[in-house]
Amino acid sequence: MKILVLNGVNLGRLGKRQPEIYGFDTLRALNKRLKRYASAKNITLKFFQTDSEPALLKKINRVSLDAIILNAGAWSHYSYAVRDAVAACCVPVVEVHLSDITARESFRKIRVLEGVVAAAFWGEGLGSYEKAVDFLAAEAVR
């Protein structure tokens, strides 16, 4: 199984941006740990991070792998373009967030991807991504 891990706006600043919320690990460090986790399950990951919504949409629309793990960052709360791309996507998409979006500002409780993603995990840091890997692996054997 091959999974595209898409990280959106501001996630390239992990380790520097609000470490009290997102921790001190960089995106590179998180990707490295997630790659090890997935490799142990015979799953290959490809990573992409962008602060450009059109670039994110292009990746979703042109996916050639088996599934997507998507942390769209703030776009998860207001981008109907991202929602439409996910709804039209031909592979399963799992939404993830590092922080507990239900315990933060009221606008973060809005999930425009709800109803078009196969599953969603949040509030567990890297564990949110690991749960997405496990979910997709389990779905692949069904």
Q: What is the set of active-site residues?
A: 22, 97
> Between vectors from CA 17 to CA 135 and to CA 110, what angle results, nearest 5°?
50
Q: Residue 135 in contact with residue 94, Cβ under 8 Å? A: yes
CB atoms within 10 A of CB 80: 10
Say which amino acid occupies 127.
Answer: G
Q: Residue 29 in contact with residue 98, Cβ under 8 Å? A: no
